[in-house]
Chain A
Amino acid sequence: MKKIKFFTSLLRERDWLEEMATQGWLLQNMTLGIIYDFKAIEPCEKVYEIERFALSRNPAISELTARSNAISMAKEFGWEVATHDEMLNYYFVKDKAGDETDEFYSDDEDRKARAERFCNYSFDLIPGFWKTDIILAVLYVILLIALGVACYYKEKPTLGFIAACILLGIYLFNSIITNLSSLASLKQGRRWYSELCMTRAEWEEYKKYSVIPSFSTLPKLRSYLEEKNKNGLTLTGYENGALYFEATEQRYDYIFDTKSDLIRRLKEEGSPFIEENKDWMGASLKWYETSIALAAKHNLKPIAVVNRNILVYKRPHSEEPLPWENSRKRVFGPLPRKKYIILLAAFFLICFILGFFFGRELGGIMKNI
């Protein structure tokens, strides 16, 4: 049976493959990273592992035989190679044992080394994208000069202009693709790294107690946390872009602080916040330090920084009013997807209108030449 599915997360892919095994489907081939070919088996519990044996930039001799060594040893441990894809990612499969032997790595350092192999593979794609882009740019400049010379002698500027526009279009299109794929590779590499550093137990924990937040306003974040609290979970931290919770029976009050709130409070108190010198990139920790020091007076301890700019405190629920209110409800952070699309569409529309009028004007000029 063939199935087409696209994963950006290796561990979600692993979960899915294991889920398929319980339904009686074992992976036997993979094409282009998206077409999964399964064969029917008796439904059973299997575990998968994904491994890479690619050479580093300056390979040691031992790396040349690493793959055959690894595969034969994995066989001794009961693992079979289900398949590998075109990028030479190997999919190993084994009957589930329910203990540590269900994992390739029992050691943090080795687990990290594998995560690095995957991460580097994704990062190493980027120079290739840029080399293509540079070659195209050079080609474009040469062609443009040749075109200019040809037009000068043939006296057909309109045709030359159109050709130049087409070339520019191709080049710009390639540039956009280069940028997008580089960003995607960076994101992918980072994601693979953080995922592959997790053990199975940590991954289960991550899925159970964490959530990828997308909050545009503080009241939304508050009501989300209070809802979780009602279900017996309380926020303990924010890591790898996800909120972490732990089980609790206590009811908590959540208190948020943002830089603009802090500046306003200090101004009202008559001791204005002074920005750090030479902080061009807005990387200063000063407002966090100030906020933490002020919160300590209310016996509050920070528990998480959400979306890089909301400092979250909590205290056991009490009838006392919160030490401060948030005047600014909307915070800068990841926009909800819907707004992203609207903004992008508006941007494209403006570009199109500008291009349309500009092109019409240019067309008029060209006719007169």
Chain B
Amino acid sequence: MEDKLLKKYCPMTETIFYTLLALLEPNHGYGIMKFVRELTEERIKMGTGTLYTMLGRLVEDRMITVVSEVDGKKTYQITEDGKQLLVMEQERLRKQCANGEKTLGGMNG
């Protein structure tokens, strides 16, 4: 994967992270929104505009791809590059969490 893309997507926004998660299975626009909404227990509700701008950008950067199109309704799925990025982000988040735990952990109790 190109360095440029790594810089752009690592760290990535929460909405991109959840969208990529939703696209591990083929999914369409409204389906992605519903998936994310259920997964985050109604915390993240994506608007259509946010979603189409993001999907457009992700397709352009080949993180996801269009797998089928019926009457203009497109179905998207994650690519190998996308999966790789998702794993890297997951790893980064885990480290971030660990750092937080280590420094902040004692303060909770």
Contact = CB atoms under 8 A, between A and B. Distances in A.
A111 B47 CA distance: 10
Nearest to A70: B52
B103 interface: no
Nearest to B71: A72
A76 B73 contact: yes
Contacts of B47: 77, 100-101, 103-107
A77 B29 contact: yes
Interface in A32-76: 49, 51, 60-62, 66, 68-74, 76
A105 B47 CA distance: 5
Interface stretch (B55-63, B77-85, B88-96): B55-63
Interface in A78-123: 79, 99-101, 103-107, 109-111, 113-114
B50 interface: yes
A60 B71 CA distance: 24
A22 B3 CA distance: 52
Given A73-B29, A77-B29, A77-B30, A104 B56 contact: no
A210 B55 CA distance: 37
A275 B60 CA distance: 55
B49 A114 contact: yes
B22 interface: no
Given A62-B60, A69-B74, A74 B55 contact: no
Contacts of A101: 45, 47
Interface in A137-162: none
Contacts of A114: 49
Nearest to A109: B13
B52 A73 contact: yes
In the A-B complex, list the 3 residue pairs whose CB atoms are closest, starting with the nearest.
A104-B49, A72-B72, A76-B30
Given A66-B56, A74-B52, 10 more contacts: A61-B60, A69-B52, A69-B55, A69-B74, A72-B73, A99-B45, A104-B48, A104-B50, A107-B15, A109-B13
